[in-house]
Amino acid sequence: MIWKLLINFLIFFIIYYHGFTSLGNTTYRANSTGQIEFSLLPMFTEGFIGPIRTLFLLLISCNTTGFFSMGFEFVTNFWSPYSVLILLYLINKNYFN
């Protein structure tokens, strides 16, 4: 059971990291002293909060075309960790009963 969880986490991380960096985001950022360092923190903070904030702003503005656009992006692209989680859920549900 634990091996299945570890494999799922590894697959999630690889797919989401690729989607995160494909958008032009980077895990190499300058710290307060100006030195470039590797950090996964932006990927797990802004990556998880950004889609929720976008959905909230769409709800406030009542933009129906934005809902369709976000729904399409949510299902087809892996810019969001939530879409990767849905993909992994569907894979596990259909192939690993």
pLDDT tens digits for range 41-51: 888 887 788 77
Residue 84: the pLDDT is 83
Residue 90, C-beta contacts closer than 8 angstroms, at least 6 positions apart: none
Q: How far is Cα 1 from Cα 32, in angstroms, rounded to an integer?
A: 42
Residue 48 structural domain:
2-95
Residue 61: the pLDDT is 79
pLDDT at 37 over 80: yes
User: For the chain, what is the domain count?
Assistant: 1
How does residue 97 score in pLDDT terms, banded at 50, 70 and 90?
low
